């Protein structure tokens, strides 16, 4: 009888424990920023690369967000839709060295890529009732001039803007790792801040290089 009682008590405890875990009901959306479209496409966008300074853990951190969100994967298409750069990340398989950039058969005078210099994306879930997410990143835009055979520009982009925030810190109700949580929406939300900041910079670069071309 005691065994039956303890088994029933354990079952009730586990049931109440499991039901305490609720998914994050994520309804926040950060739209793509409106930027001025380019006059003429003068750049090829060839993708993202990780900086040599990144640790293995930081590279894995970046890969988690890159794989989790489609926004980075389709960023070249976003640039092309705004007439800012040719989406050519699928046509480039090099290591972003000067020698390989010089050998790349570009469609435009300038070739550009984004270096992930630093990124921290951290998720803390407490007993399934609350999730805290922190995020910050530093990204370098490089532009290679195929005519002069040199890197002609490096632009550092901070996310978030350090004049506004040092780091993004958000708290949500629910458990991030609950299988019912729509993680793709959450990944897209944080990736959108990076892509929007880069998109604004590329809009300005398009004006600059259209003048120089």
Between the CA of residue 11 and those of 24, 25, 54, 100, what are the distances in Å?
A: 25, 27, 46, 62
Confidence tier at 4 by pLDDT (50, 70, 90): low
Strands 130-145 and 110-126: antiparallel
Cβ neighbours of 135 (radius 10 Å): 22
pLDDT value at 184 more than 80: yes
CB proximity list for 52: less than 8 A, separation 6 or greater: none
Confidence tier at 62 by pLDDT (50, 70, 90): very high
Alpha carbon 75 to its chain's center: 10
What is the distance in angstroms between the CA of the first residue and the CA of the last residue of the chain? Answer: 87
Between 5-9, 42-46, 137-141, 160-164, the lowest mean confidence (pLDDT) is in 5-9
Dist CA 140 CA 136 (whole Å): 14
Q: Are 79 and 111 in contact (CB under 8 A)?
A: no
Q: Are 42 and 213 in contact (CB under 8 A)?
A: yes
Question: What percentage of residues in the chain have a pLDDT greater than 90?
Answer: 81
Cβ neighbours of 94 (radius 10 Å): 14
Environment class of 179 (CB within 10 Å of its CB; exposed 0-12, middle 13-18, buried 19+)? exposed
Between 19-33, 145-159, 179-193, the lowest mean confidence (pLDDT) is in 19-33
Q: Are 51 and 117 in contact (CB under 8 A)?
A: yes
H-helix or E-strand spanning residue 10? helix 2-19
């Amino acid at each position: 009888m005691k065994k039956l009682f303890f088994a029933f008590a354990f079952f009730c405890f586990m049931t109440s424990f499991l039901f305490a875990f609720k998914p994050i009901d994520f309804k926040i959306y950060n739209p793509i920023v409106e930027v001025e479209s380019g006059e003429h496409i003068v750049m090829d966008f060839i993708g993202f690369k990780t900086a040599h300074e990144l640790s293995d853990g930081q590279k894995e951190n970046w890969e988690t967000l890159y794989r989790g969100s489609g926004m980075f994967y389709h960023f070249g298409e976003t640039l092309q839709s705004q007439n800012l750069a040719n989406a050519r990340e699928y046509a480039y398989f090099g290591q972003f060295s000067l020698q390989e950039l010089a050998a790349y058969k570009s469609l435009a005078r300038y070739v550009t890529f984004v270096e992930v210099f630093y990124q921290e994306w951290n998720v803390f879930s407490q007993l399934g009732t609350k999730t805290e997410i922190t995020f910050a990143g530093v990204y370098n835009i490089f532009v290679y001039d195929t005519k002069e055979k040199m890197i002609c520009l490096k632009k550092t982009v901070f996310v978030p803007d350090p004049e506004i925030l040092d780091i993004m810190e958000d708290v949500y109700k629910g458990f991030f790792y609950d299988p019912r949580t729509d993680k793709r929406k959450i990944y897209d939300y944080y990736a959108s801040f990076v892509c929007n900041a880069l998109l604004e910079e590329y809009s300005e670069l398009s004006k600059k290089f259209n003048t120089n071309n």
